[in-house]
């Protein structure tokens, strides 16, 4: 495992990975659902068009049947046949009239009998079908005329547009097209090819001179999807969320697993850095800092893994392990420590969510009963503890036990005076970034002066961390800072070395 992995997977990054993975899956699923939906709607429409052709062919079959029945009567006088024509019409479904015509003259009609009046001959589609928005018999209604040629004669069979529209209406918004005109389910006759948005599907009858048309557009597609693919959409969403959660967990579990392993293997080790008195002459305490002794990567600095440990909740057992190491390493030699020796531990805000910290501190203090020490919990100002019933109870308990609270990295966050009082803070640790710039910039000096001033007004002890030069030490000492900590006095070292470096007995 490469060390960059420890810093590369923060909570936000894991969230981003999970969102990207879930989002991608959702996108793929949606594309698939849309494609399948489109195919489904397409074949459903084709099917409806086929059905329409079947039903309309049946209507035209009736017209054809009438024409065939009338055929032997051609050439006879109309008077004797008129009633026969009417009988044929009446006994055949779907047709409304039949006429024998020659050269535009109505030789005999089931409606008008014999009429010499020339009919207005219009072009029949393929010489067979003619769609009219009205005619003499029904000026307000459309009619479709089927024509059958018999030598110089024609048999014209009339079909009500209304009946055809009814058939179309049963199958949705299909249009019947005859020649250059169309008939729709609302009995409207219009010019074919008038602009329609969407994809046009069309099937021609193989037996009669007409075709049926339909259109798929965005509105129809949307309605279809809502009716047919809503469940699939919900399933895809659920699946993507599930996948996202799995990804989120898996990215966690890899690191979680590695941190767990390291914790079990005892790879997290306590280092101690000395804290000096206000003159910088005597070690009065030490800050416990965590180190990861990785078997392959060597020593890993805490800022690489602490944020991950906090995210995964492992920071609590890790801190507890550090407390155990210090307790067992230093406790037996407690009597050799200077009186009221300070042990500072860095505590994550998540450790303050319950009262287990009280037990941890109690155990720690008990180990030093021979020569009581001052236990300090450092809470960073960048991640403030939320005041609520539990945290208030926790801090009350800690105060009762004599545990002190320090605000770490002071000056970099937003703790208010109310916050300092609420949690009965004892120490402020001036952030090392201000200390580092003491010699160089006036603003940092100004901030240090202000923190010193604030601490004295609130009666808080002050610790300066990151003291590296004598100049910084002199400046801080001149302002009466209570404790000094930094490379000038000592690096963080393993517990065993601390006795030697701090020149403790």
Q: Which residues bind Ca ion (CB under 5 A)?
A: 346, 378, 408-409
Quote the distance between the C-alpha of residue 262 and its chain's center. 34
For the CB of residue 475, give the shortest distance to Ca ion in the complex, in Å. 18
**Ordered alpha helix ranges (H), 430-494:** 432-436, 442-458, 470-478
For the CB of residue 233, give the shortest distance to ligand C2E in the complex, in Å. 45
* Residue number, 182 or 325, with CB nearest to ligand C2E: 325
CA nearest neighbour of 349 among 408, 301, 397, 403: 408
Q: Pick the stretch among 93-101, 207-215, 398-406, 463-471 that binds ligand C2E (CB under 6 A).
A: 463-471
Work out what residue 244 binds among ligand C2E, Ca ion, none; the CB cut-off runs from 5 to 8 Å by kind.
Answer: none
Query: CA torsion, points 249, 250, 251, 252, in degrees to nearest 10?
Result: 50
Work out what residue 95 binds among ligand C2E, Ca ion, none; the CB cut-off runs from 5 to 8 Å by kind.
Answer: none
Based on the number of CB atoms within 10 Å of its own CB, is 389 exposed (0-12), middle (13-18) or buried (19 or more)? exposed
* Residue number, 130 or 288, with CB nearest to ligand C2E: 288
For the CB of residue 340, give the shortest distance to ligand C2E in the complex, in Å. 21
CA nearest neighbour of 132 among 161, 109, 155: 161
Pairing of strands 461-464, 427-430: parallel
By CB under 6 A, residue 376 contacts ligand C2E? no
By CB under 6 A, residue 346 contacts ligand C2E? yes
By CB under 6 A, residue 108 contacts ligand C2E? no
* Residue number, 225 or 289, with CB nearest to ligand C2E: 289
Residue corresponding to tokens 């105060």: 399
Tokens of 484: 């000094």
* x/- track of binding to ligand C2E for residues 282-321 (CB under 6 A): -------xx----------xxx--x--------x---x--
By CB under 6 A, residue 487 contacts ligand C2E? yes
Crossing angle for the helix pair 218-228 and 230-264, to the nearest 10 degrees? 60
Phi, psi of 279 (to 5 degrees): -90, -10
Work out what residue 486 binds among ligand C2E, Ca ion, none; the CB cut-off runs from 5 to 8 Å by kind.
Answer: ligand C2E
For the chain, the C-alpha Rg in angstroms (whole number) is 47
Q: Which of 88, 164, 168, 322 binds ligand C2E (CB under 6 A)?
A: 322
Quote the distance between the C-alpha of residue 426 and its chain's center. 45
Q: Which helix (H) or strand (E) holds 36?
A: helix 11-70
Residue corresponding to tokens 């300092």: 420
Q: Which of 22, 37, 411, 466 binds ligand C2E (CB under 6 A)?
A: 466
* Residue number, 225 or 473, with CB nearest to ligand C2E: 473
SS3 of residue 445 by DSSP: helix
Q: Which of 240, 486, 493, 502 binds ligand C2E (CB under 6 A)?
A: 486
Provide the binding-site residues for ligand C2E, judged by CB under 6 A. 273, 289-290, 301-303, 306, 315, 319, 322, 346, 348, 380, 408-409, 432, 465-468, 486-487, 492
């Amino acid at each position: 495992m490469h060390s960059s992995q420890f810093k590369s997977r923060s909570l936000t990054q894991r969230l981003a990975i999970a969102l990207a993975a879930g989002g991608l899956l959702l996108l793929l699923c949606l594309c698939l659902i849309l494609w399948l939906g489109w195919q489904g709607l397409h074949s459903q429409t084709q099917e409806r068009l086929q059905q329409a052709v079947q039903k309309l062919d049946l209507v035209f079959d009736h017209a054809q049947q009438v024409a065939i029945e009338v055929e032997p009567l051609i050439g006879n006088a109309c008077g004797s046949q008129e009633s026969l024509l009417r009988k044929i019409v009446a006994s055949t479904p779907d047709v409304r009239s039949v006429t024998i015509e020659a050269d535009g003259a109505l030789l005999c009609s089931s409606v008008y009998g014999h009429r010499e009046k020339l009919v207005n001959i219009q072009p029949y589609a393929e010489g067979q079908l003619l769609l009219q928005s009205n005619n003499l018999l029904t000026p307000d209604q459309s009619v479709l005329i089927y024509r059958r040629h018999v030598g110089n004669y024609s048999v014209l069979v009339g079909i009500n547009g209304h009946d055809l529209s009814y058939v179309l209406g049963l199958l949705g918004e299909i249009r019947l097209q005859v020649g250059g005109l169309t008939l729709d389910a609302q009995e409207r006759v219009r010019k074919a090819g008038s602009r329609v948005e969407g994809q046009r599907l069309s099937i021609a009858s193989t037996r009669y001179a007409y075709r049926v048309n339909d259109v798929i557009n965005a509105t129809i597609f949307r309605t279809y999807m809502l009716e047919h693919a809503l469940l699939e959409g919900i399933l895809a969403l659920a699946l993507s969320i599930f996948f996202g959660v799995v990804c989120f967990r898996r990215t966690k579990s890899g690191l979680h697993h590695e941190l767990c392993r390291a914790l079990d293997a005892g790879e997290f080790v306590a280092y101690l850095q000395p804290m000096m008195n206000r003159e910088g002459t005597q070690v009065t305490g030490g800050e416990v800092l965590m180190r990861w002794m990785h078997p392959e990567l060597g020593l890993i600095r805490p800022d690489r893994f602490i944020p991950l440990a906090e995210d995964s909740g492992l920071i609590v057992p890790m801190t507890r392990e550090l407390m155990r190491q210090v307790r067992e390493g230093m406790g037996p030699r407690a009597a050799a420590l200077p009186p009221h020796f300070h042990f500072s531990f860095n505590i994550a805000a998540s450790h303050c969510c319950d009262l287990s910290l009280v037990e941890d501190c109690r155990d720690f203090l008990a180990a030093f009963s021979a020569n009581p020490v001052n236990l300090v919990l450092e809470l960073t100002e960048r991640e403030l503890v939320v005041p609520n019933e539990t945290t208030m109870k926790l801090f009350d308990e800690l105060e009762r036990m004599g545990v002190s609270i320090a605000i770490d990295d002071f000056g970099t966050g937003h703790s208010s005076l109310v916050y300092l009082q609420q949690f009965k803070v004892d120490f402020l640790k001036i952030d090392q970034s201000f200390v580092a710039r003491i010699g160089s910039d006036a603003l940092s000096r100004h901030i240090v002066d202000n923190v010193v001033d604030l601490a004295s007004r609130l009666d808080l002890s002050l610790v300066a961390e990151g003291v590296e030069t004598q100049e910084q030490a002199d400046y801080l000492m001149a302002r009466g800072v209570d404790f000094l900590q930094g490379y000038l006095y000592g690096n963080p070292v393993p517990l065993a070395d601390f006795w030697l470096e701090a020149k403790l007995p």
